[in-house]
Amino acid sequence: MLVFQSFAVWCLLASDLLFFVTALETCQTAWFDEGNVSMSGDSELLRDLRRKHWTRICSNPVDMEAQTVSGINSQHTRNTFHTFSASEGLLCLNSEQKGAQCEDYRVKFTCTGQFCSECRTRWFDHDDPTGNGDYEVLADLLNIYPREICPQPIAIEVQTVSGEPALNTSDTLLNYDATYGFACVNAAQGSGSCEDYRVRFTCPKEFCQVAEQCRTQWLNSDNSSVEGDVESILQLQKTFPGQVCKNPISIEARTVNGLPAKYTGDIFLSYDVNFGFACINDKQESKQCEDYEVILTCPSDFCHGCRTRWFDVDNPTGKGDYETLIQVQMTYPKEVCSQPVAIEAMTVSGVPAHKTGEVFQVYDASRGFFCMNAEQPGGIRCQDYKIRFTCPLDFCSVCALRRLRHWNCLDFVIFGGPLQQLCCEPETIMILLTPSSGFFQCTNKLFLSDQATGLQIKEFARKNAANALSVANMVMGMASILSSLNGHHHAACWLVLIGYLLDLADGAVARRLDACSELGAKLDDFADFTTFGIATSLLLRTSDLLDNILCMCYVLSVFVRLCFFSSGIPFMYRGLPCIYSSAILASASLLSGGNMTMLRVIAMAMILFMISQNFYPHDRVLESQAWKKAVYAGGVIMVFCSSFPPACLPLAHPGEVRLPAMEDPS
């Protein structure tokens, strides 16, 4: 009896221990802001968020955190919430507020269990708390470990290097979410210093399933003879058309002699899937980069375009399993293209190669697949593998004359034989009359519905609304430049301030309409450089050599500022944004009547602030959306009154309208 009681107690303790360990395995999602503030209030309900982001939010969160989009914790606002729980989400109703409307909120959830552990990275400890604090920023980690982290994690876990969860420490954390990563600032701590933290991310299941399944051949579009070796994704797509996917999952680099990039000792300017690979000669101690080549891992749909059947030309007896491209081409000369664009490998039993745990000596589309028995850990032998290749579309096409980018390929069966592909012009429908005989016909779509056309117009307007504001900002900048060159400095200042308001509106509209794009980012940079760089520098009225030098220094500092705009931490900038510097200079010019001594001092101060690498908070000075709207409305009224003074004079002096005195032409 005593034995059974002991066994029961042991089982109870074990279950409690398991529950305790499981409870510790929690992770934080990214921030979500789907419901815009409306006349009724703000809604961030879990069921609505999961309907759109069902893979990025767990079904049963254990906790929820909410803050305004400007970073103010929900507890520090004056709002009363109709619903606020991890199981339901957040709902704020204007009708239930006392003297104020609901703020615009965003929420993040704490999850546990399989959601956190299904596709999880290893722990990363890139920074330590010396200096300003401990910054484990996602953008930095992606640069250092490009193949080990997905670009858009769905959750993050943080703990000290000794294993204590971050939320159990006494530290005040500046940031803790999957979108940006983790940040702890020493100055915010009572002890004066943060703990040393490490992070790991939870990625979408596709990242673990697809990784290393669809890989390109080794690509080399540049050499290191002049400035360095730059293997950008854009340049690779131009050099190897059809052989490079648009959105790679990971990138790997090595020298042309086969040495992995991490062992060369070179310093890399870029090593990620967003830009590609870049090594600059001037950054190296030897002043010379190695000559590199890169291989990309692509989404699985890239390998689905024109794919061969599976080939198994060797078995792992002897030295190992050698499924080489040359051997496959010799054995099946008409079934494999001469230059495949991607390769996939799996065991003959159907297990993807990357899940076997074996070490592969070669795995790329240009040579094929090698697994050597002597290189396997523990003295095990290689499994028996099979491979298949992805070829250029023209290899699969039975249409002799066509332009690749204007055709779509459809699968069909010819005379009951193996799967083949037929290419038809876009906007066509394939009708297979008798599958066994292989007869077919292509019929064109005769019309598009009016509804589809209307949706296309609305989508075009949504995507380009923010771009139109960027163009308007650029126009204001060019108009300000012309005004300064013609001596109309007062008008030039106001045009810069109008550009400032347009730039604020540009970002807000892009986020509200979910219309952020690469083109929009470039337009915004061009507009900012025009208005807040060149146009603002001309407000200094270059009258002598020193003013000319100051003007050029200001333009260069704006250029540097735009190159290093974001710190990677939300609500923090590295260096003062150039739009604020321009607004301060333009306002100072108007208020001082163009006092050049004051403008020179302010310009030099702004240059130092812009190129500074210190972190600057933003948006937190405006503690509510109502204040933001009031400030923005005030700016619009100021611009209107400056342009049409008679319209604003009755507001300033009711019952008395005085027109400004005319200037003496002399």
**Cα–chain center distance at 174:** 21
What is the dihedral angle through the alpha carbons of 542, 543, 549, 555, rounded to the nearest 10 degrees? 0
CB 277 within 8 A of CB 270: yes
Vertex 256, ends 255 and 257: CA angle to 5°?
Answer: 85
Question: What is the DSSP secondary-structure string of 580-610?
Answer: HHHHHHHHHHHHHTS-HHHHHHHHHHHHHHH
Give the span between the Cα atoms of 171 and 216, in whole angstroms.
45
pLDDT at 628: 54
Q: Which two tokens stand for residue 3?
A: 């034995």
Which residue, among 66, 54, 65, has the nearest Cα to 115 in the 3D structure?
Answer: 54
DSSP class of residue 371?
A: E
Segment 213-235, tens digit of pLDDT? 678 888 888 877 778 898 988 88
Locate CATH 1.20.120.1760 in the chain.
464-621
Partner residues linked to 279 by β-bridges: 229
Give φ, ψ of 411 to 5 degrees.
-85, 145
Average confidence (pLDDT) over 460-465:
77
Which residue, among 213, 251, 210, 255, has the nearest Cα to 369 in the 3D structure?
Answer: 213
pLDDT at 443: 36
pLDDT at 530: 92
Quick one: which H or E segment has residue 156?
Answer: strand 155-160
CB 129 within 8 A of CB 111: no
Average confidence (pLDDT) over 91-97:
91
Average confidence (pLDDT) over 3-31:
54
Higher pLDDT, 14 or 336: 336
Give the span between the Cα atoms of 252 and 260, in whole angstroms.
8
In this predicted structure, the answer to whether residue 334 has a pLDDT above a threshold of 90 is: no
pLDDT at 116: 81
pLDDT at 420: 38
In this predicted structure, the answer to whether residue 148 has a pLDDT above a threshold of 80 is: no
pLDDT at 457: 74
Q: Which two tokens stand for residue 530?
A: 């025009």
Give the span between the Cα atoms of 446 and 469, in whole angstroms.
37
Where do the H-state alpha helices sit in 153-268? 205-210, 233-239
Q: Can you name the CATH fold of 464-621? A: Four Helix Bundle (Hemerythrin (Met), subunit A) (1.20.120)
Segment 242-301, tens digit of pLDDT? 788 877 878 889 998 888 888 888 888 888 877 889 898 888 888 899 999 998 888 766
What is the dihedral angle through the alpha carbons of 588, 590, 592, 595, rounded to the nearest 10 degrees? 90
Instruction: Indicate the SS3 state at residue 618.
Output: coil
Which residue, among 378, 380, 373, 377, has the nearest Cα to 314 in the 3D structure?
Answer: 373
Average confidence (pLDDT) over 617-629:
47
Average confidence (pLDDT) over 546-573:
73
Q: What is the mean pLDDT of the chain?
A: 76
CB 515 within 8 A of CB 466: yes
Which residue, among 138, 120, 101, 104, has the nearest Cα to 32 in the 3D structure?
Answer: 104
Give the span between the Cα atoms of 5 and 572, in whole angstroms.
59
pLDDT at 66: 93
Centre a 10 Å sphere on the Cβ of residue 283 and count the other Cβ atoms it contains: 14
Question: What is the DSSP secondary-structure string of 101-133?
Answer: PPP-EEEEEEEETHHHHTTB---B----SSTTE
Using pLDDT thresholds of 50, 70 and 90, give the confidence band for residue 331: confident
Query: What residues contact 339, with CB distance under 8 A and at least 6 apart?
Result: 217, 243, 366, 392
Question: What is the DSSP secondary-structure string of 336-354?
Answer: S-SS-SEEEEEETTS-BGG
Between the two ends of the chain, the Cα-to-Cα distance in Å is 116
In this predicted structure, the answer to whether residue 442 has a pLDDT above a threshold of 60 is: no
Average confidence (pLDDT) over 398-406:
32
Q: Which amino acid appears at position 503 of this protein?
A: D
Whether the full predicted model's pTM is greater than 0.75, yes or no, is: no
Q: Which amino acid appears at position 526 of this protein?
A: F
Q: Which two tokens stand for residue 615?
A: 């972190």
Higher pLDDT, 228 or 510: 228
